[in-house]
Amino acid sequence: MAVTVELTRFTVTPDKVEQMLAARPGMVADFDADREGFLGARLVRLPNDEWLDVVEWRSEADFTASRAKGPNLPGIAAFFGTISGLVSDELGTLA
């Protein structure tokens, strides 16, 4: 199976950046513990208060199952709570 890559671009207001970065390890730990097929995540800082989250999944089915759970654990909810807006969300396959 090919690795599915989730590309989520979002904004965080400047006053929430430190909070978001502090919440990130808890979100990754919760994903690792609770999300079947989660392979890892990288966070990229972009211009204009935007961020790109690059998340790898074993399969698209694993991504879909994760998406259905939403922010079900405290670390995930804390990270998601710092996001001020969604810019884009795409799926691809690792080439």
What confidence tens digit (pLDDT) does each residue in 61-92 have? 999 999 999 999 999 999 999 999 999 999 99
Q: How many domains does the chain have?
A: 1
- Which among 88, 14, 93 is positioned nearest to 53, based on CA atoms? 88
- Residue 21's domain comprises 4-93
- 31 burial via Cβ count (<10 Å: 0-12, 13-18, 19+): buried
The per-residue pLDDT of the chain, averaged, comes to: 97
Q: Is the pTM of this model over 0.85?
A: yes
Domain containing 32 — which CATH number? 3.30.70.100
Q: CA 23 to CA 83: how far, in whole Å?
A: 11
